[in-house]
Structure 1
Amino acid sequence: MSKPTLLVLAAGMGSRYGGNKQIDGFGPNGETIIEYSIYDAIRTGFGKVVFIVRKEILEEVKEKFLPKLEGKIEVEFVLQSLDSFVPSEYNNPERSKPYGTAHAVLCAQDVIKEPFAVINADDFYGQEAFKVLSQFLSNGVQPNLHCMVGYELQNVLSENGTVSRGICETNEENQLLGMVETTDIGRDGDKIVTKMNGEAIELAPTAQASMNCWGFHPSFMEAINDMWSEFLKNNYTNPKSEFYIPTVANHLIQENKAAVEILAGGKTWFGVTYTDDKPEVISSLKKLHEEGEYPQNLWN
């Protein structure tokens, strides 16, 4: 059986960060966050990495990553643009960014035919997450069973502003029943709350949150294709509409077409939503190097 593939979503605009955080340096030697994910993927058994990028940063991404990854893992680059897989009659001149995470996965369908994981470029997930993903995807994963690495909500907040997270509902088998995209989540004293219509609603600190760390059988591509045309038809007039991975996952679950298993690999997470998050990420990575979790230089 072929090794699983890692699909890295690196086409985001980084509006709250104020720059291309996908290629910004955070490690002791200027390593990007993506490099740690790829390093962990290689050492846990992944055989290919696919970058989803915008055309504007394609050449810069290639220059940054190809020399480091040559001979270590197969690499592909795929573009996500405003008109990717969008028929001309559905083009909206008011739209300023692509259609979101499920649309990004759709853009990679021609280069991924094997089980695959999906991650964000600007999130650090930890080696344990890639270990459980690799095990799941390498052990004869079935067309009707996918997975997601879960993280406790209390461990995936920012000290520098509110965040959006997919809050998961699970059953006794630790499978996903549904996910609600929840915005404006932050700490309020010793509580975690979300602001909805001006009212603070308390959330459980141990609630399972999605950090967009998924594992899929290739059949998930077919499910995205099946839903994409209908989504586009119903939403192309809204320039801010987005086609999310959880939208597809929720549909498969509700239609009893597939299950999504929550994997207990979410031990360590940090990421950059805001510019002020950067010093904490730099400090966390420095500590991991000092503790021996990563070598002094990732690629030598």
Structure 2
Amino acid sequence: MKTTLIIMAAGIGSRFGTGIKQLAKMSDNGEIIMDYSIYDAKEAGFDKVVFVIRKDIEEEFKAVIGNRIGSQIEVEYVYQELTDLPDGFTVPEGRKKPWGTGQAVLACKDVVKDPFVIINADDYYGKEAFVKLHDFLVNGKQEGEVLNMAMAGFVLKNTVSENGAVTRGICTVDDDDMLTDVLETSGIAIGADGTVVCDREEVRSWITPDVHVSMNMWAAYPEFLNKLESGFVEFLKDDSGDPLKKEYLIPIIVDGLLKQNKATVKVLETQDKWIGITYKEDTELAQAGFREMIRSGKYPEKLWD
């Protein structure tokens, strides 16, 4: 069975260089975070990478990573654009940004025909999650109308920044490791005494450093794309929310499918430590993390040699 990795990269700025956090060099050889994600995915058994980008950054994106990766694994590009809307809908006057991660993955509908995993371009997930999600996809299948999905379940304390608060999908999981809720929560930080603070009132009473969180790493079969398509129409019809800012987001979409009994999501726990650049000050810590993994032999010094 073939499997595909979808990388959501449309949020990367239109000017590439040392000032763009997602493209900060992580190694002396010049690899960026996406290089390591693709390396881990290929090692786990994924056959293809689909980059979700914007048309205005295509040339620069290919120069930075796309052309190099194309010699290592099959690559395809799709485009997330503000104006890419279903028939009958128009962009609200004054809106500047695309419609969120749900629209980003929906852009893959015509080219992704195999089971897939979704990730963010600027997050490092570690090897364990790619292996577990790939195994889930190849050993399972989609039957009936209820979507069969999985999620990499990171531990909150392994996903926070030392330099400020973060936003995570806080999960509740039943005794069979099935996801029951995912609550997008901002303002998360862990104090020196282990106390967790956050902006979402309904999780403050029970959130701990050991709860599972979503880092937008989901596994699904192509039928999920059909749900995204019909759901996007309903999202656009809904008059609630600020039309200039509201977003069609995967965690909220999945939570809605769970509530309607239209999906099941297996939570596959990983103990790997997330690396990302939420704040400019995170860059040096991220680089140090990759240097240590190279020193310990987890990765070669030159990733693609």
TM range, normalised to the smaller chain? Answer: over 0.9
Corresponding residue number in structure 2 for 1:151: 154
Is contact 1:23–1:61 with CA below 8 Å preserved after alignment?
A: no
Corresponding residue number in structure 2 for 1:256: 261
Is contact 1:223–1:248 with CA below 8 Å preserved after alignment?
A: no
Let me know the Cα RMSD of the aligned residues. 2.1
Counterpart of 1:188 (choices 184, 188, 191) is 191
Between 271-280 and 142-151, report the one with greater CA deviation. Answer: 142-151
**For residues 271 and 218 of structure 2, what CA distance do their matches in structure 1 show?**
12
**For residues 291 and 198 of structure 2, what CA distance do their matches in structure 1 show?**
32
Alignment of 1:276-295 (within 5 A): 276-295=281-300
Counterpart residue identity of residue 219, structure 1: E
Corresponding residue number in structure 2 for 1:5: 4
Between 89-98 and 209-218, report the one with greater CA deviation. Answer: 89-98
Corresponding residue number in structure 1 for 2:225: 221
> C-alpha displacement at 1:95, in angstroms?
1.4
Q: Deviations over 1:211-232 (max 9, x none)?
A: 1111011111011112110101
Corresponding residue number in structure 1 for 2:53: 53
Between 98-107 and 71-80, report the one with greater CA deviation. Answer: 71-80
Q: Deviations over 1:98-156 (max 9, x none)?
A: 11111100111111011000001111101111111111111232243100001111111
Between 83-92 and 262-271, report the one with greater CA deviation. Answer: 83-92
Is contact 2:183–2:252 with CA below 8 Å preserved after alignment?
A: no
State the identity as a percent.
40
**For residues 226 and 71 of structure 1, what CA distance do their matches in structure 2 show?**
36
Is contact 2:185–2:199 with CA below 8 Å preserved after alignment?
A: no
**For residues 57 and 27 of structure 2, what CA distance do their matches in structure 1 show?**
21
Alignment of 1:1-300 (within 5 A): 1=1, 3-13=2-12, 19-87=19-87, 89-143=89-143, 144-190=147-193, 191-195=195-199, 203-235=207-239, 238-300=243-305
Is contact 2:177–2:266 with CA below 8 Å preserved after alignment?
A: yes
> C-alpha displacement at 1:69, in angstroms?
2.1
Is contact 1:90–1:233 with CA below 8 Å preserved after alignment?
A: no
SS in 2 for 1:84: coil
Which segments of structure 1 move beyond 6 Å, counting only runs of 4 or more? none
SS in 1 for 2:227: helix
TM-score after normalising by structure 2: 0.91
Counterpart residue identity of residue 227, structure 2: A
TM-score after normalising by structure 1: 0.92
> C-alpha displacement at 1:251, in angstroms?
2.0
Between 119-128 and 23-32, report the one with greater CA deviation. Answer: 23-32
The alignment of Structure 1 onto Structure 2 pairs a total of residues equal to 295
Is contact 1:26–1:281 with CA below 8 Å preserved after alignment?
A: yes
> C-alpha displacement at 1:21, in angstroms?
2.9
Q: Deviations over 1:74-110 (max 9, x none)?
A: 1011111111235464311221211111110011111
Q: Which runs of 5+ in 2 are unaligned?
A: none
SS in 2 for 1:289: helix
